[in-house]
Every structure is written in C-alpha cells, then in structure tokens.
Amino acid sequence: MKLVYLDNAATTKIDNLVLEYMHKSMQDNFGNPSSTHQIGRQAKSALETARKNIAKHFNVTASEIIFTAGGTEADNLILQNAVTNLGVKRIITSKLEHHAVLHTCDFLADEFSVKIDYVEVTETGAISQDNLEVLLESSTDKTLVSLMHINNEIGTILNLENVANLCEKFNALFHSDTVQTIGHYPLDLQKYSIDFITGSAHKFHGPKGVGFAYFKKGFGIKPMLHGGNQEKGARSSTENVHSILGMDKALEIAYQNLSKDKESISYIKNYFIQELKNNFKNIAFNGNSDDANNCTYTILNVRFPVNNDLLLFSLDMHGIAVSGGSACQSGSNTGSHVLSEILDDIENNKTSIRFSFSKFTTKKDIDYTILKLKELLN
C-alpha cells in the first residue's frame, strides 16, 4: 500500500542530514553539559554553539534563547512568567489559539485571577485589528497580547508588524506562538517589537521533544521546573544536547533552502487546490487557506459538502495521513475549536480536513490523494 504523509503541520519527517548530525553528536558529546571535566565542557561548548547559531537566525543574542522540550512548554514558560514575574494582570488573546496558550490562560485566570480578553476574529480567521486597539486602550492594567503568527489549523497569517506597533503604542507586552513559522518564514526580531516567541524542532524536520523560547533581553525568568540551575536558572533539567544540536542543524538546512522549498511546496499546494476544484463540486477552503497572500504555503484546510465521519479513517486505511484539526486534540470528540469559531453550525457540521505539506511532498502524493478522495466521495 502506498503511504502518503500530508500532516506536516502536526509533525515533519526528520531530515537525513539531521539524523546523521545527531548520531555523531551522540557519539562525541555524551558528557553532561553541567559537568566541569573536559568531556562535560565539550558537550557544553556544543550546546552553546547551537544556541548562538539559532539566535543568529532571528537577529537576537544567544542569552535570549532558552531551550525547552517543545513549543507547548515554551508557551507555558512565557505566559506564566508574564504573570508571576513581570506583573501582567490581563492577557489579550483569541479563541483560535493553540491549546498550549488557551489552556494556560485558563489556568492563569483560575490561579492568579488574570483577566482574559478575547479579540474578535473574522470569518476567515483573521484578527480584528480595530477590536484589538479598542481592547488595548480600554484598560491601564499591565497587559500581554498573545496571538499566534500562523494558525496551525487554517494557516491564517497574522500581521506581526501591525500588532507589534499597537502593543508598543499602548505599552503592552507581545507574545507570538511562532511554532508554524520557524523554519518556513524569515523572522528578524530587530524589525518588530516582539517580546516573546516560541519554536519547536519537529515542525521543520528536526527531532521531537525539543524547542525554544525567546525572551527579549531584560526580562528575568522564573523556572517552572526546579532542581538544578540549567539554562541560567530558567529551566532545571539536563539539556537534551543531541536534540538541541539536531534542532540547530534542521534550522540551518531550512533557512539555507528557504526560497527553493517555499517554491516547490507552494507549487504542490496550488496544484492540489486546482485538482480539488476540478474534481469536486461545492468544496470550500476554511479561513483563507487557498489565499497565497494571507495563508501559509504549508497548510490547506478543505471543507467538503458532506458529513462523512469516517473520511479520515478511510483515507488512513488507504495510507493517506491527514488531520481534522490539531494533532494535540485528536483524541477529542468536540471537533475543532478553530472551525467552531469561524463557521456556522451548518458549515461546521460538514467534514473538514487539514492537509499540510513539506519539501518531501510530491505531485504523485497529490494525485494518489485525489484518486482516493474521488473513490470515497463521488
């Protein structure tokens, strides 16, 4: 059976060059980076070199990068520090955020009485800039704005510069979950007034279980994990050296090949859109995921004019891996919280599938997927 992987927004295949690099690190850098002997110092040196390399991609200093176990931990570390360490009393976010943000906001509201305000969103999943400005000027409480750059389900792109300028105007802190951005779009943090971002290696062909949080220089960090003094006291736990080096290598490869990969993936996505339109009547694209200017080139969220609860399962039985929403909520029977916000009940009851692409996706993968969709739906 042919296997087709179209769930790259959930995770990506590790690049072979990354695997080779990590394997060599496992052989060479086996010391504990906190140990003072020469083997430990060698691991520490490799770790800090990776930190410097990663920081350069975003035009920041190495001291502003904190290694974590992934994007979820990074979001938690940032949001909790904003409240417990930086005096934030109010968080403005949207109901389209990843649960790493939404559930953390719920926790902070319950535990610390933080006020949570939700900015209005349009039917395409875009943030209402006017409403955001109204919310920012409505209170003098110290505020953090937390809005993801690229939505992980529908791919809508936030205008970072506009939001950053609004936050600066009203003296608010700005956190953006950039997990779907890193490795796919350049991000110069000297151009925007962004205080915090997050990254996760497995979204750009690196290993799972490793990521980073960016804290703009000048912010102290209280750890969520206690027991050691790793990451300059920001995160207790022996660093995952081999995965961190793998993340560094994956990011290097991603940004070296950014233009070429974007062109090839965009071609695949556009070809898929056209084939869907040619073969299926009355399909729709959730958010503006078919709009090349306002959606990432890696995600296409398709709404079929039927309610077929078994479509995901049936595609899987034919070797096609796709998603109905975020992989983190795949065990939920409540559906996509993102689509529930932007679709009415009738449209939300139809079957939607998120297809997401990578540099490894081929035209033959798309042709096979169209063939099986026709068998299952026509």
Q: Assign residue 192 a region: left if phi > 0, alpha if psi is -120 to 50, beta otherwise? A: beta
Question: HEC string of 233-286?
Answer: HCCCCCCCHHHHHHHHHHHHHHHHCHHHHHHHHHHHHHHHHHHHHHHCCCCEEC
From the number of C-beta atoms within 10 Å of its C-beta (0-12, 13-18, 19+), residue 121 rates as: buried
Q: Which of 105, 167, 295, 328 is catalytic?
A: 328
Distance CA 150, CA 58 (A): 17
For residue 214, list its beta bridge partners. Answer: 65, 197
Active site residue 328: yes
Q: Which residue do the tokens 């049936």 mark?
A: 314
Q: Give me the phi and psi of 184, to 5 degrees please.
A: -120, -25
CA distances from 300 to 109, 124, 180, 275, 349 (A): 33, 13, 13, 13, 18
Residues catalogued as catalytic: 328
